[in-house]
């Protein structure tokens, strides 16, 4: 029996994390009694509770369910790296000798011996992995998926395989997270690497150490497997692929030199139309309803995986057209004839640049306001200049305080180190309440974007309500 599947009780420290919640759902769906702790109640934890998972929000040993406290040998504890080292429950569980494993370790065990399709990269991996899962599922390929976002098509971050005697042998799609070198627990059959840009320097120290972790990830591809890698990735990563592994580079155009590329790209409303070209096949007239040139690039890699799994061009065309994206990835919140409100999870300068340039391409004549919440003190420190440059694409920038997540403050690091170098005509440092107040009275912008990976999503329903009422009223 699978060594983690043998535990009747599973307790999650940080159950509300997007990757953790997918695992929690998997264990619950497979008959385990699941419970957990998280810092705050969110729509995601509320959904887990509605699905029968017991969750509490205070760090107290007495709040751990009795069935966990009384059954040490039969309980698996799953830990997220976001849990602080001084966490009382974690300390007690360690002292009591519980079997405690990181989320990545559990995912590595669950995928062991399976045909694993692992999507890695410092940005783009959530969207690309959701695309792979959708294309296979929509095309009738039985598969499982653990995703780092809520797929709009699936309505979840977990895809369970269709029941049957071979359900434990179907391909499994996983988002392979480079943070804390988590993806090194995986041995993929097919690997996608979307990017190797510098990030998580609080863990790696410098970019070379990060790139080395990607080289190690690629070295773990199973014999006879496939590496699909963005042409902008560090060349040494592709070179690290073991002998016998097929390497396919991808990019937007043939002029960039990849074997897998798009042709005849055009934006028509929110849709992007393009043809896929590869050595194996040409698939014409693909229609992608999720906008952005970066999403065309992501879909190239995902579509190639579908072709590898026997999906015919006609079915692939239908599946691409049916893809509806991931929550908080280029998500259209309010759309009227003259005004747009979009929400996006981008939290790296390259992601922000790709997102804002795509918005500019869609709405070249409209005034664009961006509300951005930096994520992590260390990332703000390391990429302040890049953030300022990418945000300056907007006409107006509203900058919130840094969301600390797992970090303690760093001396001299605040949103101001980004703010000073932003060159947009209008820029302000604001609180969330000031942002909401301005949305009620300020009519200077046509397109609004909320951007960031922290708790900025809490603003979305409030801004949606304000802008729907104002914009729809103005068009009545």
Please return the burial class of 441, using the count of CB atoms within 10 Å of its CB with bins 0-12, 13-18 and 19+.
exposed
Distance CA 284, CA 316 (A): 10
Distance of CA 347 to the CA centre of its chain: 11
Q: Is 335 annotated as a binding residue?
A: no
Q: Is 443 annotated as a binding residue?
A: no
Q: Would the annotation count 52 as a binding residue?
A: no
The annotation status of 169 as a binding-site residue, yes or no, is no
Asked whether 367 and 394 are in contact (CB, 8 A), the reply is no
Q: CA of 19: how far to CAs of 22, 173, 413, in Å?
A: 5, 13, 28
Helix (H, G, I), strand (E, B) or coil at 270: coil
CA of 144: how far to CAs of 6, 163, 217, in Å? 20, 11, 21
How many helices, marked H, and strands, marked E, lie in the chain?
16, 21
Tell me how far apart the alpha carbons of residues 29 and 32 are, in angstroms, rounded to a whole number: 7
Q: Is residue 97 part of an annotated ligand binding site?
A: no
- Is residue 253 a known part of a binding site? no
- Name every residue whose Cβ is closer than 8 Å to that of residue 252 and which is 6 or more positions away in sequence: 261, 262, 265, 293, 296, 297
Distance CA 426, CA 368 (A): 11
123 assigned to a ligand binding site: yes
3-state SS of the chain: helix, strand, coil percent to 5?
A: 40, 25, 40
Cβ atoms of residues 30 and 160 within 8 Å: no
Write out the binding residues: 121-127
Task: List, as residue ranges, the binding site for ATP.
Answer: 121-127
């Amino acid at each position: 029996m699978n060594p983690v599947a043998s535990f009747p009780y599973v307790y999650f420290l940080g159950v509300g994390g997007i990757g953790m919640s997918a695992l929690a759902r998997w264990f619950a769906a497979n008959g385990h009694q699941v419970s957990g702790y998280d810092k705050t109640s969110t729509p995601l934890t509320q959904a887990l509770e509605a699905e029968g998972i017991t969750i509490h929000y205070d760090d107290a040993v007495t709040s751990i369910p009795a069935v966990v406290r009384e059954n040490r040998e039969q309980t698996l504890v799953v830990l997220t790296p976001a849990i602080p080292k001084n966490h009382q429950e974690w300390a007690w569980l360690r002292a009591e000798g519980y079997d405690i494993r990181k989320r990545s370790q559990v995912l590595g065990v669950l995928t062991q011996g399976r045909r694993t399709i692992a999507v890695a990269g410092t940005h783009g991996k959530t969207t690309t992995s959701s695309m792979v899962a959708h294309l296979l599922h929509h095309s009738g390929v039985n598969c499982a998926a653990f995703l780092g976002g809520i797929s709009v098509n699936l309505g979840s971050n977990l895809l369970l395989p269709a029941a049957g005697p071979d359900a434990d042998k179907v391909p499994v799609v996983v988002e392979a997270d480079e943070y804390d070198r988590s993806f090194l627990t995986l041995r993929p059959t097919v690997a996608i690497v979307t990017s190797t840009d510098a990030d998580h320097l609080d863990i790696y120290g410098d970019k070379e150490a990060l790139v080395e972790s990607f080289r190690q990830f690629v070295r773990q591809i199973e014999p006879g497997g496939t590496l699909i890698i963005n042409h902008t990735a560090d060349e040494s990563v592709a070179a690290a692929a073991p002998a016998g592994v097929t390497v396919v580079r991808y990019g937007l155009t043939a002029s960039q030199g990849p074997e897998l590329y798009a042709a005849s790209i055009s934006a028509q409303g929110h849709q992007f139309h393009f043809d896929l070209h590869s050595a194996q096949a040409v698939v014409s007239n693909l229609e992608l309803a999720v906008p952005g040139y970066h999403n065309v690039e992501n879909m190239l890699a995902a579509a190639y995986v579908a072709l590898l799994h026997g999906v015919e061009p006609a079915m692939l065309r239908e599946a691409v057209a049916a893809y509806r994206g991931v929550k908080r990835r280029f998500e259209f919140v309010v759309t009227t004839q003259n005004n747009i409100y979009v929400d996006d999870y981008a939290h790296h300068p390259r992601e922000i640049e790709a997102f804002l340039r795509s918005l500019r391409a869609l709405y070249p004549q409209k005034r664009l306001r961006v509300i951005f919440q930096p994520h992590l003190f260390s990332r703000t420190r390391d990429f302040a200049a890049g953030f300022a440059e990418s945000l300056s694409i907007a006409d107006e920038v509203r900058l919130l305080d840094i969301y600390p997540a797992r970090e303690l403050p760093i001396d001299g690091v605040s949103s101001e180190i980004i703010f000073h170098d932003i060159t947009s005509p209008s820029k302000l440092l604001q609180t969330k309440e000031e942002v909401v107040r301005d949305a009620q009275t300020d009519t200077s912008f046509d397109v609004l974007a909320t951007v960031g990976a922290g708790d900025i999503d809490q603003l979305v329903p409030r801004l949606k309500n304000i802008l729907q009422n104002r914009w729809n009223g103005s068009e009545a």
